[in-house]
Amino acid sequence: MKKMRNNNYLTNHTLIIDELERSIKFYSWDSILLFLPEGSYLVGGYIRDIILGRVTEEVDVDLVVPINAIEIGRKISEKIESKFIILDEKREVVRIFLNRISIDIANQMSPNIEEDLSRRDFSINSIAFLFDEKCLFDPLNGLRDIELSLLRTYSEINLLSDPLRILRCFRFVAELNFKIDLKLVTYIEKNKSKLYLVAQERINYEIKKIVNGKNALEAIILIKNFNIFGSGNSNKDSFFLDLKEINYALLNQNEKKKFLPLFFISQIFDVSSLEKFKFSNVEITKIKLLRKWHFFLKNKNIAQLNELDRFELHQELEMLLPSFIFYLPQNLRFNWLKRWRDKDDKLFHPSNLLNGDVIKKNLKIKEGPLLGKLLKYLSKELAYKRLNNFDEAIYKAKQWIEQNAPKCD
């Protein structure tokens, strides 16, 4: 099979068409083609990913029909007994679902296919497969741009018609490692303020895609260099780090996949922006913890932390320490990470020899703040290796209660 350079890119039109038809049968949506009128075509990311040899968990199909998209979509939905959604009634854009596949059907908006394709976001998504002729149609040279790993748009109007496309540029940097065309760079710089017109949930969705991309670092650096989200991202805020200077190789692949997205989000937005763009309470809470301990250590030498401060740091950051590791002094990062990887390290993974029910039963203590404080004390003692077994824990618990329980006259 003919390849492009060192990549698994398809170049020959015949090979691309063969792979498209094989893929359509593999995902079992070929029966839908029977309902499409003459002049219909496949377009967008589905073709792009076939060419790139890219396998994705989410399969999105974009179909264009000459007219009556809503009626056609409804008939297909009834035939295959699938969910049917009207996304845009005025422009006639619908979505149906078939197994793992999301299929969008839209009316052709222009008198001819070429003009319709020129309205799409980027050239790499403007390659059409014409069902009638069983051929590719690429008037905007999207195939060449895929070969060059170049992200290019036909016109500035293409960005303005949906400003979210500005952010989508960085998603393709993160996911595909594409370069941004210089003219497109100009359009981004000129129109980035238009992002405020986009629904916050859509921005949230794109950011999640960006920070989870294989090349997320490059995309995040670009977002910060373009100052996409305004002065809130300024490096004047000491929470924001120089991302180019960080040794990400400290983390293994699983840690990168799990913990870098949160770190990257924390490097794009301050807390008020997180709330504005509808990030979850869990995500906001985690980033608040990263900020809290960063500023705590900035104002207090880490070597001078008392036992309680150090214990509370690990207790609060236990589940996200690799997201925090780059805020530590460089000489501590590897050792902290090594200890965190050891699940038996009781300081980095605080636990207890006793649970609340056992304490209530053996020491006749009731549920409440006192019990919580006692459990924290015992966990701290275990973390600093001053407890070895159940009996010692019971003994220390009794001592602690005698010293800390409220005295009655």
Model confidence band, residue 9 (pLDDT cutoffs 50, 70, 90): low
Model confidence band, residue 49 (pLDDT cutoffs 50, 70, 90): very high
The average pLDDT across 273-298 equals 95
Judge whether residue 407 has pLDDT over 80.
no
pLDDT for residue 6: 37
pLDDT for residue 5: 35
Judge whether residue 196 has pLDDT over 60.
yes
The average pLDDT across 7-31 equals 84
Which distant-in-sequence residues (6+ apart) come within 8 Å of 206 by Cβ? 164, 167, 168, 170, 171
Model confidence band, residue 230 (pLDDT cutoffs 50, 70, 90): confident
Judge whether residue 334 has pLDDT over 90.
yes
Written as one letter, the residue type at 91 is: R
pLDDT for residue 366: 82
Q: β-pairing, 59-65 with 101-107?
A: parallel
pLDDT for residue 406: 75
The average pLDDT across 336-364 equals 92
The average pLDDT across 21-35 equals 91
Question: For residue 188, what are the CA distances in angstroms to 18, 167, 169, 181?
Answer: 37, 9, 9, 11
The average pLDDT across 115-129 equals 96
Judge whether residue 178 has pLDDT over 70.
yes
The average pLDDT across 190-208 equals 95
Report how far residue 177's alpha carbon sits from residue 37's, in angstroms, rounded to the nearest whole number: 37
pLDDT for residue 364: 78
SS (H, E, C) the chain: CCEECCEEEECCHHHHHHHHHHHHHHCCCHHHHHHCCCCCEEECHHHHHHHHCCCCCCEEEEEEECCCHHHHHHHHHHHHCCCEEEEECCCCEEEEEECCEEEEEEECCCCCHHHHHCCCCCHHHCCEEECCCCEEECCCCHHHHHHHCEECCCCHHHHHCCCHHHHHHHHHHHHHCCEECHHHHHHHHHHHHHHHHCCHHHHHHHHHHHHCCCCHHHHHHHHHHCCCCHHHHCCCCCCCCCHHHCCHHHCCHHHHHHHHHHHHHHHHCCHHHHHHCCCCHHHHHHHHHHHHHHHHHHHCCHHHCCHHHHHHHHHHHHHHHHHHHHHCCHHHHHHHHHHHHCCCCCCCCCCCCCCHHHHHHHHCCCCCHHHHHHHHHHHHHHHCCCCCCHHHHHHHHHHHHHHHCCCCC
pLDDT for residue 55: 75
Written as one letter, the residue type at 398 is: K
pLDDT for residue 251: 97
Strand partners, 129: 42, 136
Tokens 């989410």 sit at which residue? 58
Judge whether residue 379 has pLDDT over 50.
yes
Whole-model pTM: value is 0.88
The average pLDDT across 269-295 equals 95
Q: pLDDT tens for residues 293-325?
A: 999 999 888 988 999 999 999 999 999 999 999
- Name the token pair of 272: 């008020």
Judge whether residue 7 has pLDDT over 60.
no
Judge whether residue 72 has pLDDT over 50.
yes
Report how far residue 169's alpha carbon sits from residue 206's, in angstroms, rounded to the nearest whole number: 10
Model confidence band, residue 4 (pLDDT cutoffs 50, 70, 90): very low
Q: Are 230 and 194 in contact (CB under 8 A)?
A: no
Judge whether residue 394 has pLDDT over 80.
yes
Model confidence band, residue 357 (pLDDT cutoffs 50, 70, 90): confident
Please give the backbone phi and psi of residue 362, each rounded to the nearest 5 degrees, phi first.
Answer: -85, -30
Tokens 């070895």 sit at which residue? 388
Which is more confident, 78 or 233?
78
Question: For residue 163, what are the CA distances in angstroms to 157, 167, 197, 216, 355?
Answer: 10, 8, 7, 21, 53
The average pLDDT across 262-279 equals 94
Q: Are 174 and 210 in contact (CB under 8 A)?
A: yes
Nearest-10 Cα torsion for 397, 398, 402, 404: 10
Q: Are 50 and 122 in contact (CB under 8 A)?
A: no
- Name the token pair of 92: 């006639």
Model confidence band, residue 3 (pLDDT cutoffs 50, 70, 90): very low
Strand partners, 59: 101
Model confidence band, residue 1 (pLDDT cutoffs 50, 70, 90): very low
Share of the chain above pLDDT 90, in %: 80
pLDDT for residue 11: 63
Judge whether residue 282 has pLDDT over 60.
yes
- Name the token pair of 302: 């880490």
The average pLDDT across 383-391 equals 93
Domains in the chain, CATH or no CATH each: 3-148 (3.30.460.10), 156-282 (no CATH), 356-404 (no CATH)
